[in-house]
Copies of this chain bind each other. A is one copy, B any other.
Amino acid sequence: MKLLGIDIGGTNTKIGIVEDGKILKKTALKTNMIQGYDNFLDRLTKEVDTLTKGIDYAGVGVGCPGIIDTKNGVVAYANNLYFKNVPLASDISKRLHGKKVSISNDANTQALGEVKYGAGKGFSDVIMITLGTGVGAGIVVDGKLFEGYKGMGCEGGHTVIVVDGEPCSCGRNGCFEAYSSASALKRDTLKEMINDRQSLLWDIVKNDLNEVDGGTIFRGMEKGDKTSEKLFRNYVKYLSEGITNFVNVFRPQAVILGGGMAKEGDTLTNAVQEQVDEKRYGGKDSLPCKIFTPILGNDAAIIGAAELNN
């Protein structure tokens, strides 16, 4: 059965025709929501119609950032998209010839794709933590997305791990996101560099602070830079505390670390694995919980969105 998966991001929107967890054809457009919601829907519909020409598909799944009322197909709130109570599912359905449209949070669709067809294949209980501009948590319990009351999604990045800590975009202080996102690591890297003009990190970014991102310290560690190692240990510490919180509540068989930080692979997962094993309730007497990076890449969100209708 062919299904359509749509992954709406703040910058790009990706569309794919999916069958048995594989993308047969895909395309993308700039989200550019600042040009208006109707304009976005017009451009989206045009792309879908071109992509699916001559291909019959059974339903449409959409991953979207923000708080989603999945039962009613409404985006309650998504600041990056300027959405407040937008009936996205019915609006897309109207333009796509009345097809059934299901929506969910994009961290959830990515987790669902990765769990069912990627790094989590074979497990029933998996949490995917996306470490990018923000931190998202997609939680799969007994093979199904866990989405909270009324499917309002799980704002896992907005759980405080340091009361009165670093300010977070959500208005609280000390959120998991404010320590574990790629943006948080970038913030801490910049701070250290400004304090330490001798750091090798300045060479790595060719003295251009605009070049600093969440991966910079990993390049520094490859060159034996001490500042980078210190920043890495600190980042892993807070990240592991946040992950262990979820492990103690959901007791997943695996945690998948996605988002931009995932490209650091084993360097990141091995360090996190060690700390989570030490910190989780019951320690090594408890059920194992493996830390992985994704294997489907950006496709996971498209595949997972399609999977919403499977």
A residues whose Cβ falls under 8 Å from a Cβ of B: 67, 76-77, 84, 124-125, 137, 141-142, 148-150, 152-156, 158-163, 165, 170-172, 174, 179, 237-238, 241, 244-245, 248-253, 279, 281-283, 285-287
- List the 3 closest A-B pairs by CB distance, nearest first: A148-B251, A125-B149, A159-B245
- Least Cβ distance of A9 to chain B in Å? 20
Contact for A148 among B238, B244, B249, B285, CB less than 8 A: B249
Contact A161 B161, beta carbon cutoff 8 Å = yes
Contact A77 B238, beta carbon cutoff 8 Å = no
Q: With contacts A158-B281, A161-B163 known, is A149 near B251, CB below 8 A?
A: yes
Query: In the bound complex, what is the Cα–Cα distance between A234 and B205 (angstroms)?
Result: 44
- Least Cβ distance of A67 to chain B in Å? 6
Contact A163 B237, beta carbon cutoff 8 Å = yes
- Least Cβ distance of A291 to chain B in Å? 15
Q: Which residue of B lies closest to A160 (CB)?
A: B241
Contact for A124 among B149, B158, B163, CB less than 8 A: B149
Q: With contacts A148-B250, A155-B249 known, is A285 near B237, CB below 8 A?
A: no
Contact A162 B159, beta carbon cutoff 8 Å = no
Instruction: Knowing that A76-B286, A148-B249, A155-B249 touch, tell me 19 more A-B residue pairs with CB under 8 angstroms.
Output: A67-B281, A67-B282, A76-B282, A77-B282, A77-B285, A149-B252, A150-B251, A152-B287, A155-B248, A156-B249, A158-B281, A159-B248, A159-B249, A160-B161, A160-B241, A170-B281, A171-B283, A172-B241, A245-B245
Query: In the bound complex, what is the Cα–Cα distance between A252 and B148 (angstroms)?
Result: 8
Query: In the bound complex, what is the Cα–Cα distance between A244 and B159 (angstroms)?
Result: 7
Q: Could you show 12 A-B contacts with beta carbons less than 8 Å apart? A: A67-B286, A76-B286, A141-B148, A148-B249, A148-B251, A149-B253, A154-B249, A155-B249, A159-B249, A160-B161, A172-B241, A172-B279
Question: Which B residues are in CB contact (< 8 Å) with A161?
Answer: 160-163
Question: Which B residues are in CB contact (< 8 Å) with A287?
Answer: 149-150, 152
Query: In the bound complex, what is the Cα–Cα distance between A279 and B249 (angstroms)?
Result: 21
Query: In the bound complex, what is the Cα–Cα distance between A242 and B286 (angstroms)?
Result: 24
Q: With contacts A150-B251, A163-B161, A238-B163 known, is A76 near B285, CB below 8 A?
A: yes
Residue of A171, A241, A279, A281 ringed by the most chain B CB atoms within 10 A: A281
Question: Which B residues are in CB contact (< 8 Å) with A253?
Answer: 149
Q: Which residue of B lies closest to A124 (CB)?
A: B149
Contact B152 A241, beta carbon cutoff 8 Å = no
Residue of A170, A174, A248 ringed by the most chain B CB atoms within 10 A: A248
Q: Which residue of B lies closest to A156 (CB)?
A: B249
